[in-house]
Each structure stands twice: as structure tokens, then as C-alpha cells.
Amino acid sequence: MNMQQKKVCVIVTTFAQGQPGFLDFSYRIGSLAVAYDVLVISRHPLTQTELQFPGVRYVVIPAPENRMGWLSYLWRCAALIRKQSPAVAVLLHSLAAPVALLIGKTPAVVYWNEHPTHVAPDESGSPIKAALRWAVRRLMFLGARAARLVMPIGEAHRDDLLAQGCRPDRTRMLYMGVDDAFKAADSTGADIPDQRIRLIYAGSVHQDRGRDVMLEAVMLANRDKKIAHLTIVGASPEQLLICRAYVQRHGIEDSVTLHGRVPGSDIPAFYRRADIGVCLWEDRPWYRFNPPTKLFEYLVAGLPVLASDIRTHTEYVKSGVNGLIFEYGSAGMANALTELWAMRERLPQMKRQALLSSEAYRWEAIEPKFLEAVDGVAQGVFA
């Protein structure tokens, strides 16, 4: 009996060299690889284990990491798509959205995961640079409007896309999703910390993502009594040097454990040894739209979230229920740690609430909706 030939799906990625996280992209590529004959385009060879799938074809289109390189890459991706004439093109990043303007009749789906102001900030500068940044942002939004379907990862992105002219019937919000490998087996018997509250931070360790704030907060909170221990996972070699220098300079070696980047499959083990997950961002325009992957991972893992007061945290974390919200800054976080220590007997209950609040973010629940939406585009439902 002949097997029915799969339809072709071309996936355009825009991964950067040194990018730390791939799991949300991995989930989508893996699901599409089961349903379609998949061709993945990238600017660099994809060596990450999370992105390797049997039967998937990989094509590398080299391009420099600059604006002209980005435009050249998009153009060449579009040319390849026009040549392949697939059933559907999945543009797996906001940066890939302009491809939808260049591929003719091939229907496109955009995974809208990053706000254009993160790529091209709306900041002061020379008129020429300001105009170029505006053009980049405009091009990304035009790509989202041209796609048959755009999939924002959160409410703030969805509202913004609608305000930018995307059609409601072609805009469907789907959370990033978290694999069940992260899911806590049981939070009902969680222990109350008798020594220190174990904090975990996973992800990029940059200054605007609260690097210095959380290190100083741990130092301040432990000044009178050692109540907290912070584990950081995901620092690049350069970031590790900065963090180690800070830790040594302030004598907090026994309060901070540092790890470099690890495969995504290793992250759940770190969560199982923690009591609280940490999310903190400076109040930058783009961070008001981009909910962090780790926030949802923490909740699925049954970890309450200690989060700074920005919409992309407060939308999902209810202070005192499945986490605690604090005013961004080292003093604010240190005060929150002191508060957590004082209410540590409530941590088992907060862990249960974190797990209960995570159901909508599990990839197992999101995957069928994602595939249904892509199939709908391939079949002309979103015309």
C-alpha cells in the first residue's frame, strides 16, 4: 500500500550566533516534521540537539549578522520558497515576517515572538538612523499583515498586532508552550526550606535582564541571615566572567552557583532542585510585549515565580498566589526575598498554585491548536 505523500512545509529561521534558547522553536519544528515534509532554512548550520529531527532537510543560506545581511537572507529565503512552491511557509520568528511579502501565492504563517522595537529600538539618534530603524519595524509589521496567519505568543503582542492593522481573523494567539518534561510530578508534598530558599534563574544573563540586580539582591537579603541561594543557568563565557568577578568581589561565593549554557533537555533537572523561579527585566519597551519562556517553564515545573513588575510578568503571576511581584531593583528584590523567607511555610501551597496555573502553557495542550492552524493555512482556510 502506498503511503500518501506529505505536503511540503518550508520553515524560515533567524537564529543568531550565540543564541541561548531553542525549545519553543524545537517544539514547532518537531511537530511540523511529523505532519509535513519539512525543509528548514537557517543562516548558520544548526548543530543544537534540540533542532535535529529525522527526515528534516536543512539548508544553510549564509548571511552576515547585520541589517544588510538580514535583508539579503530574507530575499534569498523567499527565492527558495518560490522555487519549492510548498503548501505552507512557516516564518519562525518576527524577524522572518517580511518573507511573507516576497513569496507570491505561497501561504505564510508567522510565529510572532519578538517585538520590532527589540530589533530596531525607537530611540533618539541621527535622522538617518532613526529612519532606518523605523523602516525595519515597519517592514516586520507589514510582513505580519501580509501573512495568512500571525501567531503572537502573548496578549500584549496580540493587542499590538491588531493596533498595527493585522486582521483579527488572521491573528491567533498561542503561548510558546512548555514540554511535559518540565512538569512537576507532584507539588503537594513539597518541603518547606529549613536552611535557605533555593532560587533558580535560567536564560540570558545580561544587565537589562537583571543580572546585577539579582546578584546584589541576594547579597542584601543575606546580609543579616543567610536566607537565599541563587543558581544561575545559561550564562555565556563572557557573562560567566562578569558574574564570577561580582561574586568574588562581594564575597557571596556560598550564596550563588553559576552554570554556563546547557542543552534545553538538562534544564528541568535544575528546576527540580529549586523552590522559586526568578524573572526580572528592566522596563524596556520591547519587554512589555515579550513574555519570557522561563516564566512558563517555572510554572509548569511547579515553581512559584519571583518577578519584577512589568506587564509580561504580572499578566501571568498573581502576587501571593503563584508567585510574588516586586518593584524592579536590587532593594525591591531583596525585600521580596525577606518576605518570602517570612512566609516560607506557604511555599508548598504556592507551588501547587503554580502548577495549577500552568495548564494553559503546556505544549501538549497547544500543539494540536498549532498544527490545526498551520493545516488551515495550507488548505486555504485563512484566505
> To 10 degrees, the CA torsion angle through 126, 132, 205, 180?
160
Q: What tens digit of pLDDT does each residue of 9-43 get? A: 999 999 988 777 899 999 999 999 999 999 999 99
Listed residue (228, 81, 83, 85) closest to 96, CA to CA:
81
Are 86 and 107 within 8 A, CB to CB? no
Q: How many residues does the chain have?
A: 383
Return the H-helix or E-strand segment holding 149.
strand 149-152
Q: What pLDDT shows up at residue 82?
A: 97
Shortest CA distance to 102 belongs to which of 85, 83, 86, 79? Answer: 79
Lowest mean pLDDT among 20-24, 28-32, 62-66, 186-190: 186-190
pTM for the whole thing? 0.91
The more confident residue out of 360 and 2 is 360
Element (H, E) at 156: helix 155-163
Q: pLDDT for 297-348, tens place per residue?
A: 999 999 999 999 999 999 999 999 999 999 999 999 999 999 999 999 999 9
Is 91:110 a contact under the CB 8 Å cutoff? Answer: yes
- pLDDT of residue 2 exceeding 50: no
Q: How confident is the model at residue 194 (pLDDT cuts 50, 70, 90)?
A: low
DSSP string spanning 281-309?
Answer: ----TGGGT---HHHHHHHHTT--EEEES
**Mean pLDDT for all residues in the chain:** 93
Confidence at residue 1, expressed as pLDDT on a 0 to 100 scale: 36
Confidence band for 382, pLDDT divided at 50, 70 and 90: low
Q: Say yes or no to pLDDT of 191 above 70.
A: no
Rounded to the nearest 10 degrees, how much is the dihedral formed by the CA atoms of 118, 120, 122, 123?
A: 100
pLDDT tier, 118 (very low <50, low <70, confident <90, very high otherwise) = very high
Neighbours of 88 (CB within 10 A): 24
**Average confidence (pLDDT) over 74-79:** 98
Percent of the chain beyond pLDDT 90?
Answer: 84
Position 58 pLDDT exceeds 50: yes
> Chain centroid to CA 21: how far?
7
Residues in Cβ contact with 256 at an 8 Å cutoff, skipping those fewer than 6 apart: 215, 218, 229, 230, 231, 232, 243, 247
- Alpha-carbon distance of 323 to 332, in angstroms, equals 15
Task: Supply the DSSP symbol for 383.
Answer: -
What residue type is assigned to position 323 of the chain? Answer: G
- State the Cα–Cα distance between residues 121 and 110, nearest whole angstrom: 21
